[in-house]
Amino acid sequence: MKSNALELKNDIKDFLQFSKANTKSIILIVIFTIMTYGIKIFNYSISIDTEKLINEYNWQLDTWASFGRFGLVFTKKLFGLNPFNAYISCFLMVIAMIIFGITWSYVISYFSFEKNKKSIITAVFPIIFITAPLFTEQFNFILQSFEVAFAIILCSIAVFFISKWTINSKNTIYLIISLISMIWGFGTYQAIVFLYISGVLGCYILIYIANKKGNIKLEKNYFLISVFKYLGTFILGYVGYVIVDKIVRSFYGASAYVDGMIKWGTEPAIESIKNILRYIRYGLFGDGLFYSKVFLVCIVFLAIYAIANMFTKNKDKFLFLAAVGVFIASPFLLAVYIGNGLIPRMQFNYQFVIAFILYILVWIFKDKRVKSIIIVIILCIAMNQSYTVVKLFTSEQLKYEDDVKLANQISDRIESLGLGEYPEYPVVLVGSHTSNIPNKVVGEFIGRSWFEFGGNSLRAIGFMNTLGYNYIEPNQEQTSEGYELAKDMDSWPSTNSVQFKNGLIIVKFN
Protein backbone atom coordinates (compact mmCIF):
# COMPACT_ATOMS: atom_id res chain seq x y z
CA MET A 1 0.00 0.00 0.00
CA LYS A 2 2.91 2.36 0.75
CA SER A 3 4.35 1.74 -2.71
CA ASN A 4 0.94 2.58 -4.24
CA ALA A 5 0.79 5.84 -2.28
CA LEU A 6 4.37 6.66 -3.28
CA GLU A 7 3.49 6.08 -6.93
CA LEU A 8 0.51 8.43 -6.58
CA LYS A 9 2.78 11.04 -4.98
CA ASN A 10 5.17 10.72 -7.94
CA ASP A 11 2.25 11.20 -10.35
CA ILE A 12 1.35 14.47 -8.62
CA LYS A 13 4.99 15.60 -8.81
CA ASP A 14 5.09 14.67 -12.51
CA PHE A 15 1.97 16.76 -13.17
CA LEU A 16 3.50 19.76 -11.39
CA GLN A 17 6.75 19.34 -13.33
CA PHE A 18 4.76 19.09 -16.57
CA SER A 19 2.95 22.34 -15.72
CA LYS A 20 6.22 24.08 -14.88
CA ALA A 21 7.90 22.86 -18.07
CA ASN A 22 4.99 23.94 -20.28
CA THR A 23 4.52 27.50 -19.05
CA LYS A 24 4.17 28.82 -22.62
CA SER A 25 1.39 26.34 -23.36
CA ILE A 26 -0.41 27.25 -20.12
CA ILE A 27 -0.15 30.96 -20.97
CA LEU A 28 -1.72 30.16 -24.35
CA ILE A 29 -4.52 28.22 -22.62
CA VAL A 30 -5.16 31.16 -20.27
CA ILE A 31 -5.18 33.68 -23.14
CA PHE A 32 -7.70 31.69 -25.19
CA THR A 33 -9.89 31.00 -22.16
CA ILE A 34 -10.01 34.67 -21.10
CA MET A 35 -10.50 35.84 -24.68
CA THR A 36 -13.40 33.43 -25.14
CA TYR A 37 -15.12 33.59 -21.75
CA GLY A 38 -13.84 36.84 -20.23
CA ILE A 39 -17.09 38.60 -21.16
CA LYS A 40 -18.84 36.47 -18.53
CA ILE A 41 -16.51 37.84 -15.83
CA PHE A 42 -16.26 41.47 -16.87
CA ASN A 43 -19.99 42.01 -17.50
CA TYR A 44 -22.77 41.25 -15.03
CA SER A 45 -25.65 39.17 -16.33
CA ILE A 46 -27.56 36.05 -15.45
CA SER A 47 -28.88 33.38 -17.79
CA ILE A 48 -32.24 31.72 -18.21
CA ASP A 49 -33.02 29.26 -15.36
CA THR A 50 -30.64 31.11 -13.02
CA GLU A 51 -33.60 33.08 -11.70
CA LYS A 52 -34.85 29.88 -10.04
CA LEU A 53 -31.56 29.35 -8.21
CA ILE A 54 -31.51 32.98 -7.05
CA ASN A 55 -35.15 33.05 -5.92
CA GLU A 56 -35.47 29.47 -4.64
CA TYR A 57 -31.95 28.17 -3.92
CA ASN A 58 -32.85 25.13 -1.82
CA TRP A 59 -35.72 24.16 -4.13
CA GLN A 60 -33.33 24.15 -7.12
CA LEU A 61 -30.78 21.99 -5.27
CA ASP A 62 -33.51 19.53 -4.27
CA THR A 63 -34.70 19.44 -7.89
CA TRP A 64 -31.20 18.60 -9.15
CA ALA A 65 -30.89 15.86 -6.53
CA SER A 66 -34.22 14.39 -7.69
CA PHE A 67 -33.01 13.69 -11.23
CA GLY A 68 -29.52 12.32 -10.79
CA ARG A 69 -27.37 15.43 -10.31
CA PHE A 70 -26.37 14.81 -6.73
CA GLY A 71 -22.73 15.51 -7.69
CA LEU A 72 -23.68 19.04 -8.75
CA VAL A 73 -25.42 19.62 -5.41
CA PHE A 74 -22.41 18.22 -3.52
CA THR A 75 -19.98 20.49 -5.40
CA LYS A 76 -22.09 23.56 -4.62
CA LYS A 77 -22.17 22.68 -0.94
CA LEU A 78 -18.48 21.73 -0.89
CA PHE A 79 -17.45 25.15 -2.22
CA GLY A 80 -20.04 27.00 -0.10
CA LEU A 81 -21.75 28.62 -3.09
CA ASN A 82 -24.85 29.77 -1.20
CA PRO A 83 -26.33 32.26 -1.89
CA PHE A 84 -25.72 32.24 -5.61
CA ASN A 85 -23.38 34.95 -6.89
CA ALA A 86 -23.10 35.39 -10.66
CA TYR A 87 -19.61 36.91 -10.58
CA ILE A 88 -18.16 34.19 -8.34
CA SER A 89 -19.80 31.47 -10.44
CA CYS A 90 -18.38 32.85 -13.71
CA PHE A 91 -14.96 33.49 -12.18
CA LEU A 92 -14.74 29.94 -10.82
CA MET A 93 -15.98 28.61 -14.17
CA VAL A 94 -13.11 30.30 -16.04
CA ILE A 95 -10.56 29.04 -13.48
CA ALA A 96 -11.98 25.51 -13.74
CA MET A 97 -11.82 25.67 -17.55
CA ILE A 98 -8.17 26.67 -17.44
CA ILE A 99 -7.52 23.78 -15.05
CA PHE A 100 -9.35 21.19 -17.16
CA GLY A 101 -7.44 22.50 -20.18
CA ILE A 102 -4.19 21.76 -18.32
CA THR A 103 -5.32 18.39 -16.89
CA TRP A 104 -6.56 17.07 -20.22
CA SER A 105 -3.37 18.36 -21.87
CA TYR A 106 -1.36 16.41 -19.29
CA VAL A 107 -3.42 13.23 -19.76
CA ILE A 108 -2.94 13.28 -23.53
CA SER A 109 0.74 14.16 -23.26
CA TYR A 110 1.35 11.46 -20.63
CA PHE A 111 -0.11 8.63 -22.69
CA SER A 112 1.90 9.71 -25.71
CA PHE A 113 4.89 8.55 -23.62
CA GLU A 114 7.24 11.04 -25.23
CA LYS A 115 10.44 11.59 -23.25
CA ASN A 116 10.39 15.34 -23.91
CA LYS A 117 7.05 16.62 -22.62
CA LYS A 118 8.06 20.26 -23.03
CA SER A 119 6.43 21.24 -26.29
CA ILE A 120 3.97 23.83 -27.60
CA ILE A 121 1.86 20.98 -29.02
CA THR A 122 0.62 20.35 -25.46
CA ALA A 123 -1.58 23.44 -26.04
CA VAL A 124 -3.20 22.04 -29.19
CA PHE A 125 -5.89 19.97 -27.49
CA PRO A 126 -6.98 22.48 -24.82
CA ILE A 127 -7.27 25.58 -27.02
CA ILE A 128 -9.46 23.70 -29.53
CA PHE A 129 -11.49 22.00 -26.81
CA ILE A 130 -12.08 25.09 -24.66
CA THR A 131 -13.04 27.44 -27.52
CA ALA A 132 -15.55 25.04 -29.10
CA PRO A 133 -18.89 26.81 -29.83
CA LEU A 134 -20.78 23.77 -28.53
CA PHE A 135 -19.66 24.72 -25.02
CA THR A 136 -21.36 28.11 -25.28
CA GLU A 137 -24.86 26.95 -24.41
CA GLN A 138 -23.63 24.85 -21.50
CA PHE A 139 -21.45 27.52 -19.92
CA ASN A 140 -24.09 30.18 -20.49
CA PHE A 141 -26.13 28.36 -17.83
CA ILE A 142 -24.15 30.07 -15.09
CA LEU A 143 -26.22 28.48 -12.33
CA GLN A 144 -24.22 25.27 -12.99
CA SER A 145 -21.33 26.43 -15.18
CA PHE A 146 -18.57 26.08 -12.58
CA GLU A 147 -19.87 22.73 -11.37
CA VAL A 148 -19.94 21.28 -14.92
CA ALA A 149 -16.43 22.61 -15.63
CA PHE A 150 -15.32 21.00 -12.36
CA ALA A 151 -16.92 17.72 -13.50
CA ILE A 152 -14.81 17.85 -16.68
CA ILE A 153 -11.74 18.05 -14.43
CA LEU A 154 -13.05 14.99 -12.55
CA CYS A 155 -13.51 13.21 -15.88
CA SER A 156 -9.88 13.85 -16.83
CA ILE A 157 -8.78 12.47 -13.45
CA ALA A 158 -10.96 9.37 -13.90
CA VAL A 159 -9.61 8.75 -17.42
CA PHE A 160 -5.99 9.26 -16.33
CA PHE A 161 -6.04 6.91 -13.36
CA ILE A 162 -8.11 4.19 -15.00
CA SER A 163 -5.75 4.21 -18.00
CA LYS A 164 -2.76 3.95 -15.65
CA TRP A 165 -4.55 1.15 -13.83
CA THR A 166 -4.98 -0.82 -17.07
CA ILE A 167 -1.19 -0.72 -17.42
CA ASN A 168 -0.46 -1.36 -13.73
CA SER A 169 -3.41 -3.14 -12.11
CA LYS A 170 -1.52 -3.65 -8.85
CA ASN A 171 -2.17 -0.06 -7.78
CA THR A 172 -5.70 -0.17 -6.34
CA ILE A 173 -5.50 3.52 -5.37
CA TYR A 174 -5.71 4.34 -9.08
CA LEU A 175 -8.90 2.30 -9.38
CA ILE A 176 -10.48 3.88 -6.29
CA ILE A 177 -9.71 7.45 -7.36
CA SER A 178 -11.05 6.76 -10.84
CA LEU A 179 -14.32 5.24 -9.59
CA ILE A 180 -14.94 8.12 -7.14
CA SER A 181 -14.24 10.67 -9.90
CA MET A 182 -16.55 8.81 -12.28
CA ILE A 183 -19.47 8.68 -9.83
CA TRP A 184 -19.02 12.33 -8.83
CA GLY A 185 -18.70 13.46 -12.46
CA PHE A 186 -21.61 11.38 -13.76
CA GLY A 187 -23.69 12.66 -10.85
CA THR A 188 -22.93 16.26 -11.79
CA TYR A 189 -24.07 16.11 -15.41
CA GLN A 190 -25.04 12.91 -17.19
CA ALA A 191 -23.36 13.89 -20.47
CA ILE A 192 -20.02 13.43 -18.67
CA VAL A 193 -20.61 9.67 -19.13
CA PHE A 194 -20.06 10.03 -22.87
CA LEU A 195 -17.10 12.37 -22.47
CA TYR A 196 -15.53 9.67 -20.29
CA ILE A 197 -16.11 7.09 -23.04
CA SER A 198 -14.37 9.31 -25.60
CA GLY A 199 -11.58 9.98 -23.11
CA VAL A 200 -10.69 6.34 -22.44
CA LEU A 201 -10.94 5.49 -26.15
CA GLY A 202 -8.59 8.39 -26.86
CA CYS A 203 -6.06 7.10 -24.31
CA TYR A 204 -6.31 3.59 -25.76
CA ILE A 205 -5.51 5.03 -29.21
CA LEU A 206 -2.60 7.07 -27.83
CA ILE A 207 -1.12 4.08 -26.01
CA TYR A 208 -1.34 2.01 -29.18
CA ILE A 209 0.45 4.63 -31.28
CA ALA A 210 3.04 5.18 -28.53
CA ASN A 211 3.70 1.44 -28.44
CA LYS A 212 3.94 1.38 -32.23
CA LYS A 213 6.50 4.22 -32.13
CA GLY A 214 8.52 2.39 -29.47
CA ASN A 215 7.83 4.97 -26.75
CA ILE A 216 6.63 2.27 -24.35
CA LYS A 217 6.84 -1.51 -24.02
CA LEU A 218 3.69 -3.24 -22.82
CA GLU A 219 2.88 -6.71 -21.60
CA LYS A 220 1.77 -9.27 -24.13
CA ASN A 221 -1.98 -9.10 -24.90
CA TYR A 222 -2.25 -5.71 -23.16
CA PHE A 223 -4.56 -4.28 -25.83
CA LEU A 224 -6.98 -7.20 -25.59
CA ILE A 225 -6.94 -7.43 -21.77
CA SER A 226 -7.28 -3.66 -21.34
CA VAL A 227 -10.53 -3.69 -23.34
CA PHE A 228 -12.12 -5.84 -20.62
CA LYS A 229 -10.55 -3.71 -17.90
CA TYR A 230 -11.95 -0.50 -19.38
CA LEU A 231 -15.39 -2.06 -19.89
CA GLY A 232 -15.51 -3.67 -16.45
CA THR A 233 -14.49 -0.52 -14.57
CA PHE A 234 -16.88 1.65 -16.59
CA ILE A 235 -19.76 -0.67 -15.70
CA LEU A 236 -18.63 -0.61 -12.08
CA GLY A 237 -18.49 3.19 -12.06
CA TYR A 238 -21.85 3.59 -13.77
CA VAL A 239 -23.52 1.08 -11.45
CA GLY A 240 -22.01 3.00 -8.52
CA TYR A 241 -23.55 6.19 -9.91
CA VAL A 242 -26.97 4.51 -10.26
CA ILE A 243 -26.83 3.15 -6.70
CA VAL A 244 -25.92 6.54 -5.20
CA ASP A 245 -28.59 8.17 -7.36
CA LYS A 246 -31.27 5.79 -6.05
CA ILE A 247 -30.20 6.43 -2.45
CA VAL A 248 -30.33 10.21 -2.97
CA ARG A 249 -33.69 10.03 -4.74
CA SER A 250 -35.12 8.07 -1.82
CA PHE A 251 -34.62 11.23 0.27
CA TYR A 252 -35.43 13.91 -2.30
CA GLY A 253 -38.00 12.13 -4.47
CA ALA A 254 -37.61 11.07 -8.09
CA SER A 255 -38.07 13.31 -11.11
CA ALA A 256 -38.58 12.11 -14.69
CA TYR A 257 -36.82 15.16 -16.15
CA VAL A 258 -33.79 13.28 -17.54
CA ASP A 259 -35.75 10.11 -18.34
CA GLY A 260 -38.19 12.28 -20.30
CA MET A 261 -35.39 13.14 -22.76
CA ILE A 262 -35.36 9.53 -23.99
CA LYS A 263 -37.66 9.40 -27.00
CA TRP A 264 -37.56 5.67 -27.72
CA GLY A 265 -41.02 4.30 -27.03
CA THR A 266 -42.60 7.73 -26.58
CA GLU A 267 -42.75 8.59 -30.28
CA PRO A 268 -42.57 6.58 -33.53
CA ALA A 269 -39.19 4.90 -33.99
CA ILE A 270 -38.91 6.30 -37.51
CA GLU A 271 -39.02 9.83 -36.07
CA SER A 272 -36.23 9.01 -33.63
CA ILE A 273 -34.12 7.56 -36.45
CA LYS A 274 -34.72 10.66 -38.60
CA ASN A 275 -33.68 12.93 -35.71
CA ILE A 276 -30.51 10.91 -35.10
CA LEU A 277 -29.57 10.97 -38.79
CA ARG A 278 -30.23 14.71 -38.93
CA TYR A 279 -27.89 15.26 -36.01
CA ILE A 280 -25.22 13.04 -37.59
CA ARG A 281 -25.50 15.12 -40.76
CA TYR A 282 -25.08 18.34 -38.79
CA GLY A 283 -22.05 16.93 -37.01
CA LEU A 284 -20.37 15.49 -40.09
CA PHE A 285 -20.80 18.51 -42.34
CA GLY A 286 -20.53 21.26 -39.75
CA ASP A 287 -23.99 22.75 -40.28
CA GLY A 288 -24.98 25.69 -38.10
CA LEU A 289 -23.19 27.78 -35.49
CA PHE A 290 -22.22 25.00 -33.13
CA TYR A 291 -20.72 22.38 -35.44
CA SER A 292 -17.40 22.41 -37.26
CA LYS A 293 -16.44 21.50 -40.80
CA VAL A 294 -13.08 20.46 -39.33
CA PHE A 295 -14.79 17.41 -37.77
CA LEU A 296 -15.14 15.51 -41.05
CA VAL A 297 -11.54 16.24 -42.04
CA CYS A 298 -10.32 14.98 -38.66
CA ILE A 299 -12.25 11.70 -38.61
CA VAL A 300 -11.31 10.95 -42.25
CA PHE A 301 -7.64 11.43 -41.35
CA LEU A 302 -7.86 9.12 -38.31
CA ALA A 303 -9.85 6.51 -40.26
CA ILE A 304 -7.27 6.48 -43.06
CA TYR A 305 -4.47 6.15 -40.48
CA ALA A 306 -6.21 3.17 -38.85
CA ILE A 307 -6.95 1.49 -42.21
CA ALA A 308 -3.35 2.02 -43.39
CA ASN A 309 -2.19 0.40 -40.15
CA MET A 310 -4.05 -2.76 -41.18
CA PHE A 311 -1.45 -3.28 -43.94
CA THR A 312 1.49 -3.17 -41.52
CA LYS A 313 2.98 -5.93 -39.39
CA ASN A 314 1.85 -4.30 -36.16
CA LYS A 315 -0.02 -6.46 -33.68
CA ASP A 316 -3.57 -5.84 -32.44
CA LYS A 317 -4.40 -3.79 -35.53
CA PHE A 318 -8.02 -5.04 -35.57
CA LEU A 319 -8.47 -3.84 -32.00
CA PHE A 320 -6.96 -0.48 -32.94
CA LEU A 321 -9.27 -0.18 -35.95
CA ALA A 322 -12.28 -1.01 -33.76
CA ALA A 323 -11.22 1.54 -31.13
CA VAL A 324 -10.85 4.23 -33.78
CA GLY A 325 -14.27 3.33 -35.23
CA VAL A 326 -16.01 3.63 -31.85
CA PHE A 327 -14.06 6.80 -31.04
CA ILE A 328 -15.19 8.44 -34.30
CA ALA A 329 -18.78 7.39 -33.56
CA SER A 330 -18.66 8.46 -29.88
CA PRO A 331 -20.09 11.98 -30.45
CA PHE A 332 -23.27 10.33 -31.73
CA LEU A 333 -23.70 7.67 -29.01
CA LEU A 334 -25.79 9.90 -26.74
CA ALA A 335 -28.13 10.74 -29.63
CA VAL A 336 -28.61 7.03 -30.30
CA TYR A 337 -29.17 6.38 -26.59
CA ILE A 338 -31.93 8.98 -26.20
CA GLY A 339 -33.37 8.45 -29.69
CA ASN A 340 -33.17 12.10 -30.60
CA GLY A 341 -30.90 14.76 -32.06
CA LEU A 342 -28.90 16.32 -29.24
CA ILE A 343 -29.26 19.79 -27.81
CA PRO A 344 -25.92 21.66 -27.95
CA ARG A 345 -25.30 21.89 -24.21
CA MET A 346 -25.17 18.07 -23.94
CA GLN A 347 -22.52 17.53 -26.60
CA PHE A 348 -19.18 17.41 -24.84
CA ASN A 349 -17.39 14.73 -26.82
CA TYR A 350 -17.95 16.21 -30.30
CA GLN A 351 -15.33 18.88 -29.65
CA PHE A 352 -13.22 16.38 -27.70
CA VAL A 353 -12.84 14.23 -30.84
CA ILE A 354 -11.83 17.21 -32.97
CA ALA A 355 -9.28 18.49 -30.45
CA PHE A 356 -7.84 15.01 -29.84
CA ILE A 357 -7.36 14.17 -33.52
CA LEU A 358 -5.71 17.53 -34.22
CA TYR A 359 -3.25 16.72 -31.43
CA ILE A 360 -2.49 13.33 -33.04
CA LEU A 361 -2.08 15.03 -36.41
CA VAL A 362 0.69 17.25 -35.01
CA TRP A 363 2.18 14.48 -32.91
CA ILE A 364 2.75 11.86 -35.61
CA PHE A 365 4.50 14.17 -38.09
CA LYS A 366 8.28 14.33 -37.61
CA ASP A 367 9.05 17.22 -39.97
CA LYS A 368 9.23 20.43 -37.90
CA ARG A 369 8.06 22.63 -40.78
CA VAL A 370 4.98 20.49 -41.28
CA LYS A 371 4.29 20.61 -37.53
CA SER A 372 4.64 24.40 -37.55
CA ILE A 373 2.20 24.79 -40.44
CA ILE A 374 -0.37 22.56 -38.76
CA ILE A 375 -0.01 24.45 -35.46
CA VAL A 376 -0.61 27.77 -37.25
CA ILE A 377 -3.76 26.30 -38.82
CA ILE A 378 -4.89 25.05 -35.41
CA LEU A 379 -4.37 28.52 -33.90
CA CYS A 380 -6.55 29.95 -36.69
CA ILE A 381 -9.26 27.36 -35.96
CA ALA A 382 -9.15 28.23 -32.24
CA MET A 383 -9.38 31.96 -33.04
CA ASN A 384 -12.36 31.38 -35.33
CA GLN A 385 -14.10 29.26 -32.69
CA SER A 386 -13.40 31.86 -30.02
CA TYR A 387 -14.88 34.60 -32.20
CA THR A 388 -18.07 32.57 -32.69
CA VAL A 389 -18.40 32.02 -28.93
CA VAL A 390 -17.84 35.72 -28.21
CA LYS A 391 -20.51 36.67 -30.78
CA LEU A 392 -22.97 34.40 -29.00
CA PHE A 393 -22.09 35.73 -25.55
CA THR A 394 -22.29 39.32 -26.83
CA SER A 395 -25.83 38.68 -28.06
CA GLU A 396 -26.65 37.15 -24.68
CA GLN A 397 -25.23 40.17 -22.82
CA LEU A 398 -27.14 42.65 -24.99
CA LYS A 399 -30.30 40.59 -24.58
CA TYR A 400 -29.89 40.68 -20.80
CA GLU A 401 -29.49 44.45 -20.80
CA ASP A 402 -32.52 44.82 -23.09
CA ASP A 403 -34.56 42.59 -20.77
CA VAL A 404 -33.54 44.68 -17.74
CA LYS A 405 -34.69 47.79 -19.59
CA LEU A 406 -38.04 46.17 -20.45
CA ALA A 407 -38.48 44.93 -16.87
CA ASN A 408 -37.95 48.50 -15.60
CA GLN A 409 -40.52 49.83 -18.06
CA ILE A 410 -43.08 47.18 -17.08
CA SER A 411 -42.48 47.96 -13.41
CA ASP A 412 -43.09 51.67 -14.00
CA ARG A 413 -46.38 50.87 -15.76
CA ILE A 414 -47.49 48.53 -12.98
CA GLU A 415 -46.60 51.16 -10.37
CA SER A 416 -48.80 53.66 -12.24
CA LEU A 417 -51.80 51.40 -11.50
CA GLY A 418 -51.63 52.65 -7.89
CA LEU A 419 -51.42 49.18 -6.29
CA GLY A 420 -48.39 49.97 -4.16
CA GLU A 421 -44.67 49.27 -4.48
CA TYR A 422 -45.18 45.53 -3.93
CA PRO A 423 -48.65 44.65 -5.30
CA GLU A 424 -50.46 41.81 -3.56
CA TYR A 425 -51.87 40.53 -6.83
CA PRO A 426 -50.44 38.02 -9.34
CA VAL A 427 -48.85 39.39 -12.52
CA VAL A 428 -49.85 37.63 -15.74
CA LEU A 429 -47.73 38.21 -18.84
CA VAL A 430 -49.80 37.48 -21.95
CA GLY A 431 -48.01 36.49 -25.15
CA SER A 432 -44.31 37.04 -25.76
CA HIS A 433 -41.85 39.82 -26.45
CA THR A 434 -38.67 39.36 -28.50
CA SER A 435 -35.68 41.58 -27.78
CA ASN A 436 -34.72 43.84 -30.66
CA ILE A 437 -30.93 43.68 -30.82
CA PRO A 438 -28.91 44.57 -33.97
CA ASN A 439 -26.94 41.65 -35.45
CA LYS A 440 -28.35 39.28 -32.82
CA VAL A 441 -27.04 35.72 -32.88
CA VAL A 442 -29.42 33.20 -31.33
CA GLY A 443 -28.68 29.70 -30.07
CA GLU A 444 -30.96 27.29 -28.24
CA PHE A 445 -31.34 29.69 -25.28
CA ILE A 446 -28.58 32.22 -25.91
CA GLY A 447 -30.00 35.51 -27.16
CA ARG A 448 -33.56 34.53 -26.24
CA SER A 449 -35.41 36.92 -23.96
CA TRP A 450 -37.05 35.90 -20.68
CA PHE A 451 -40.17 37.53 -22.11
CA GLU A 452 -39.98 35.44 -25.28
CA PHE A 453 -41.45 32.26 -23.79
CA GLY A 454 -45.11 32.84 -24.61
CA GLY A 455 -47.56 31.44 -22.07
CA ASN A 456 -44.90 31.12 -19.38
CA SER A 457 -45.20 34.08 -17.01
CA LEU A 458 -43.20 32.26 -14.33
CA ARG A 459 -39.85 32.53 -16.13
CA ALA A 460 -40.19 36.28 -16.79
CA ILE A 461 -41.64 37.07 -13.36
CA GLY A 462 -38.81 35.10 -11.78
CA PHE A 463 -36.33 37.20 -13.77
CA MET A 464 -38.00 40.44 -12.62
CA ASN A 465 -37.84 39.22 -9.02
CA THR A 466 -34.03 38.92 -9.33
CA LEU A 467 -34.01 42.66 -10.11
CA GLY A 468 -35.90 43.46 -6.91
CA TYR A 469 -39.41 43.58 -8.33
CA ASN A 470 -41.15 41.19 -5.96
CA TYR A 471 -44.17 40.25 -8.03
CA ILE A 472 -46.42 37.29 -7.30
CA GLU A 473 -46.32 34.48 -9.86
CA PRO A 474 -49.71 33.34 -11.18
CA ASN A 475 -50.94 29.75 -11.05
CA GLN A 476 -52.22 27.97 -14.17
CA GLU A 477 -55.85 28.95 -13.55
CA GLN A 478 -54.92 32.62 -13.10
CA THR A 479 -52.78 32.53 -16.25
CA SER A 480 -55.70 31.14 -18.30
CA GLU A 481 -58.03 33.78 -16.88
CA GLY A 482 -55.48 36.49 -17.69
CA TYR A 483 -55.38 35.41 -21.32
CA GLU A 484 -59.18 35.65 -21.53
CA LEU A 485 -59.26 39.09 -19.92
CA ALA A 486 -56.51 40.37 -22.21
CA LYS A 487 -58.46 39.80 -25.42
CA ASP A 488 -59.85 43.33 -25.48
CA MET A 489 -56.55 44.95 -24.46
CA ASP A 490 -54.01 46.62 -26.73
CA SER A 491 -50.51 45.19 -27.07
CA TRP A 492 -47.31 46.54 -25.55
CA PRO A 493 -46.21 49.36 -25.50
CA SER A 494 -49.70 50.85 -25.71
CA THR A 495 -50.92 52.62 -22.53
CA ASN A 496 -53.78 50.10 -22.51
CA SER A 497 -51.41 47.10 -22.48
CA VAL A 498 -51.06 47.02 -18.66
CA GLN A 499 -54.28 46.77 -16.64
CA PHE A 500 -55.65 45.54 -13.32
CA LYS A 501 -58.62 43.20 -13.85
CA ASN A 502 -60.42 40.75 -11.54
CA GLY A 503 -57.57 40.76 -9.02
CA LEU A 504 -54.92 40.21 -11.71
CA ILE A 505 -52.25 42.54 -13.06
CA ILE A 506 -52.19 41.82 -16.80
CA VAL A 507 -49.38 42.79 -19.16
CA LYS A 508 -50.24 42.03 -22.78
CA PHE A 509 -47.42 41.72 -25.28
CA ASN A 510 -49.24 40.27 -28.29
DSSP string covering 291-343, please?
Answer: --THHHHHHHHHHHHHHHHTTSS-TTHHHHHHHHHHHHHGGGHHHHHHTSPPP
| pTM strictly above 0.75 | yes
More confident residue, 268 or 164: 164
| pLDDT band at residue 226 under the 50/70/90 scheme | very high
- Statement: residue 254 has pLDDT above 90: no
Condensed to tens digits (0 to 9), the pLDDT of residues 348-377 reads 899 999 999 999 999 988 888 999 999 999
- Strand-pair category, 504-508 with 498-501: antiparallel
Question: Stretch 415-429: mean pLDDT, rounded?
Answer: 91
- Statement: residue 2 has pLDDT above 80: no
| pLDDT band at residue 1 under the 50/70/90 scheme | low
Report how far residue 248's alpha carbon sits from residue 251's, in angstroms, rounded to the nearest whole number: 5
Peptide bond just before 344 cis, omega within 30 deg: no
Long-range CB contacts (< 8 A, 24+ apart) of 381-386?
A: 381/128, 381/292, 381/294, 382/32, 382/127, 382/128, 382/131, 385/36, 385/128, 385/131, 385/132, 385/133, 385/292, 386/32, 386/35, 386/36, 386/131
Question: Stretch 333-348: mean pLDDT, rounded?
Answer: 83
Name the amino acid, one letter, at 260.
Answer: G
| pLDDT band at residue 140 under the 50/70/90 scheme | very high
pLDDT at residue 219 in the model: 87
| pLDDT band at residue 229 under the 50/70/90 scheme | very high
pLDDT at residue 454 in the model: 64
pLDDT at residue 455 in the model: 62
pLDDT at residue 339 in the model: 84
| pLDDT band at residue 117 under the 50/70/90 scheme | confident
| pLDDT band at residue 237 under the 50/70/90 scheme | very high
Report how far residue 472's alpha carbon sits from residue 482's, in angstroms, rounded to the nearest whole number: 14
